[in-house]
Amino acid sequence: MAKLPSRRPETLGGYIVHGLPFPVETDPDALAFLKRMAPLQIEQDYKITYLHSYGQDSPWFAAVTNKKLLANTDPESGYTYATPRGHDMYSGQETDWIDITDRTARVHAFTVCHFGSEEFLPETPFVLVLIQYEGVNTLFLARMMGVDPMEATLDWIGMEVQPKFMRNAKLKPTDVYFVPADS
């Protein structure tokens, strides 16, 4: 019979431990220090493979990858959502997909972002727009390119724009952006 190990093997494990004080005195009051001790911090590499599903929004991402922009409409009321929505928010009924790629689109509102998440920080400042599509009841949020964020003007409100699509789609909402229609 093979002999089982009597203790677990120890390795460095790639951990870097910061700030690990502990009182060495034998005085019982020395342990009072523990109530004032700063939280321990452990620095370690962490990797996970994450499987993400777009579920009922999958057709929208498939369309954007193929240079199309879809919306959803309630077949009974005709209420139309610019962003993917599997069910109508009023009736709860399943919605139908419609292609809005070639519909007239205009800037409803915009903001210039001087700060952004880590992914967009190198691209600041950039312009975010709310797009109003002809015959669509809700607005579509996206980036606008082809304009100078440092020269923002209220003249952009109502400006006709058109969607553009990333050549190499990453299956992210940012795979579609807008430019002035004359671009």
Residue 136 structural domain: 55-180
In whole angstroms, what is the distance from residue 148 CA to residue 142 CA?
16
CB atoms inside a 10 Å sphere around CB 98? 15
Domain count along the chain: 1
What number of helices (H) and strands (E) belong to the chain?
A: 1, 10
8 Å CB contact between 105 and 132: yes
Please check whether residue 132 lies inside any domain of the structure.
yes
pLDDT digits (tens, 9 = 90+) for 121-168: 888 999 999 999 999 999 999 999 999 999 999 999 999 999 999 998
Please check whether residue 87 lies inside any domain of the structure.
yes
Return the pLDDT at 12. 64
Please check whether residue 29 lies inside any domain of the structure.
no
Q: Give, as one character, the DSSP assignment of residue 4.
A: P
In whole angstroms, what is the distance from residue 181 CA to residue 97 CA?
24
User: Is 59 a residue whose pLDDT tops 90?
Assistant: yes
pLDDT digits (tens, 9 = 90+) for 18-49: 656 666 666 677 777 777 777 777 677 778 99
